[in-house]
Amino acid sequence: ITRATFLDGMWAPDVAASIYNFHNAQVWGKWDGEPAWSLDSLEGEPELADLPDPLAVESLESGICPRCGKPIDWAGPFPIKALAGMEKQDLGAGYYELAQVRAPPGMDLVMMLRAAGYLGPVGIGELCGN
C-alpha cells in the first residue's frame, strides 16, 4: 500500500517497482447469506433523488449519450474550475450537462447548402446536441 511517507522511490527501488500503478481494490470471498442491508432500509434522503436521470452516469461511462443513445465523441476532460460561471446540470459522478453552446448537429450542412444558394427544406433528424 502506498503511504504518504514513501516519498522517494530510490529509498527502496524494488518496493517502488512492485507497487507502481497498484490500486488497492481487492475482493476476497463470496457472500452466500441473506443480504445484510438493502437500499430500502437506509435512512435519509437518497442522494440520487435530485439527479434528473440516475442512469445517465452509467450511459456516459459506457460512452453513450443519455439523451439520444448515440456514441459520444469525447474531447477530453474539462477543468472543473472553468465550469464555475457556466450554466450546468449535475448528472452525478463528476459529469455535468452544459447548456448547448454550439449549433445543433446538421447545422453545418444547412449553412453550407444556404451558402450554395439552396433555399429548400433540409431534413436534419433528431437533435440532441451530442
Q: Higher model confidence: residue 104 or residue 9?
A: 9
Question: CA-CA distance, 67 to 72, in Å (whole number)?
Answer: 11
Question: CA-CA distance, 62 to 78, in Å (whole number)?
Answer: 18
Flag whether pLDDT at 1 surpasses 60. no
Is the CB of residue 52 less than 8 Å from the CB of residue 88? no
Cell representation of residue 100:
448547448
Instruction: Tell me the pLDDT tens digit for each residue of 60-110.
Output: 888 898 888 889 888 777 788 888 888 888 888 888 888 776 666 667 777
Question: CA-CA distance, 94 to 41, in Å (whole number)?
Answer: 27
Q: How confident is the model at residue 124 (pLDDT cuts 50, 70, 90)?
A: low
| Secondary structure E strands in the chain | 88-92, 95-98
The candidate with the shortest Cα–Cα distance to 99, out of 110, 112, 88, is 88
Q: Cβ–Cβ contacts within 10 Å for residue 46, how many? A: 10
Cell representation of residue 125:
433528424
Mean pLDDT of 16-21: 79
For the chain, what are the domain ranges?
9-32+52-115
pLDDT at 121: 77
